[in-house]
Amino acid sequence: MVKSQTIGVPFTKVFDEYRNKVENQLAGVLKKNGIVPTLKIRQEMFSKYMNLFDMLNRKVVNGKEVYIDKHIKSSIFSKINSKTSVVLTYLNTLDSARNIKNYPEMIDALRKNDFNRASKIFYKMMPKDLESYLALDTITDEAIAKRQADEELKKIQSKAKEEIIKLQINEAIKTASEIISDIGDKTSKVIGDKYKVASDKIINELNGFKGKKIKNSSDALKILEKTINNPYLKVHKKDLPAISQAIKFIDGKKLSENLYKLGGSFKLADNFLKFEKIKTKVEEGFETGNWRPLVLEIEAMALAGVASPIVLAFTSASLSLLLPVTISVTLLSVSAIILTAVITSYIDADFAAAINKEIIP
């Protein structure tokens, strides 16, 4: 039984705070991490929230736990950003080694509404992984919003943001490499080992892309057009609408969900990295021969602030997944050449030309 239901705390108010500030956002976080928020899971979510509520609103007096304010007119959750409430509750759902319960000094600081100290304690003790750095960033933002953050904490957050970008890039490249390799294996069984060789070279280029910028849309389009105007593709221009139709039959929603499950960094940048948009623009490109909309869509992700290596990784993974492997050998070869050319056009003209030599008959 939740303690706060039994000793005079206004449970209805606490529950309303949870429903309004935490429940749906926390459910969204769990869903992005591959956990379906069923009724049972939602009940567990509320239990974790109430457990955290008790931790943050109780203290030990003469060896007994008592509420800091038995009549609690407003809890800590009513005084902080809803995103902070979600993060703190989420930290209380993690396994024992990473659970917020393991940070008693941080809990003490939170009880006192001291997010400056709480952030520093968490930084000192937390695992140095992406999830923890993201939580730290949110908790630090709360300290800044409350005008509590000192220069030391601001420097910590600056370092945390750098680590977040590095870890996101590493994860995005790793995920994309696995997808490209898998699709390369499947495709090469149909159109030959040359596509597998090209896929491996793209993976190597992708892993060396950290710190680099993708080509702008104008330059990328010029590089791509050299491939599109290749005699082999001109001969098969009549086949492009059929490829578009094949891609339309691909279950974009299912592929999108799988892509976001595999790549946490893709989920984090979900506002800008939209698989369905890429799919639609690819269909348009094959249907009309106009690849400018796709090229602009890819550039828009970078202009929105997503790191170039993540944009390239997401694009490479998405276009690999969109290869219609069930169509004829000729159509698969044509689609592989064009979609590979889109990827390489954002890397380098010489590299694109080298890959073309590998895969164009």
Token representation of residue 210? 């950290």
What residues pair up with 66 in beta bridges, in sequence order?
Answer: 59
Residue 204, Cβ density class (10 Å: 0-12 exposed, 13-18 middle, ≥19 buried): exposed
pLDDT tens digits for range 121-167: 999 999 999 889 999 999 999 999 999 999 999 999 999 999 999 99
pLDDT tens digits for range 197-241: 999 999 999 999 888 899 999 999 999 999 999 898 888 889 899
Burial 303-336 (b: 16+ CB within 10 A, else e): eeebbbbbbbbbbbbbbbbbbbeebeeebbbbbb
Q: Determine how many CB atoms are found less than 10 A away from the CB of residue 143.
A: 22
In the chain, % helix, strand, coil (3-state, to 5) comes to: 75, 0, 25
pLDDT tens digits for range 26-50: 777 777 666 777 888 788 778 887 7
Cα 194–chain centre separation: 32
The whole-number pLDDT of residue 1 equals 34
Which candidate, 333, 313, 335, places its Cα nearest to that of 189? Answer: 333
Q: Determine how many CB atoms are found less than 10 A away from the CB of residue 174.
A: 16
The whole-number pLDDT of residue 64 equals 64
- In angstroms, rounded to a whole number, what is the distance separating the alpha carbons of residues 114 and 210? 37
- In angstroms, rounded to a whole number, what is the distance separating the alpha carbons of residues 114 and 107? 10
Residue 81, Cβ density class (10 Å: 0-12 exposed, 13-18 middle, ≥19 buried): middle
Which candidate, 52, 20, 40, 107, places its Cα nearest to that of 12? Answer: 20
- In angstroms, rounded to a whole number, what is the distance separating the alpha carbons of residues 254 and 318? 12
Residue carrying the six token digits 């590979």: 340
* Rounded mean pLDDT, 313-319: 91
With a CB cutoff of 8 Å and minimum separation 6, the contacts of 237 are 289
The whole-number pLDDT of residue 354 equals 93
With a CB cutoff of 8 Å and minimum separation 6, the contacts of 152 are 120
Any idea what DSSP says for residue 214? Answer: P
Residue 104, Cβ density class (10 Å: 0-12 exposed, 13-18 middle, ≥19 buried): exposed
- In angstroms, rounded to a whole number, what is the distance separating the alpha carbons of residues 197 and 248? 28
The whole-number pLDDT of residue 53 equals 78
Token representation of residue 17? 């705070």
* Amino acid at residue number 238: K
Token representation of residue 225? 């057009």
The whole-number pLDDT of residue 11 equals 62
Q: Which uninterrupted H or E stretch holds 146?
A: none
Over its C-alpha atoms, the chain yields an Rg (Å, rounded) of 25
Measured in degrees and rounded to the nearest 5, phi and psi for residue 59 equal -145, 165
pLDDT tens digits for range 162-195: 999 999 899 999 999 999 999 999 999 998 899 9
The whole-number pLDDT of residue 3 equals 46
- In angstroms, rounded to a whole number, what is the distance separating the alpha carbons of residues 313 and 308? 8
Angstrom CA distances, 176 to 75, 119, 219, 361, stand at 44, 33, 23, 26
The whole-number pLDDT of residue 304 equals 86
Token representation of residue 13? 């108010």
Lowest mean pLDDT across 59-68, 99-108, 178-187, 314-323? 59-68
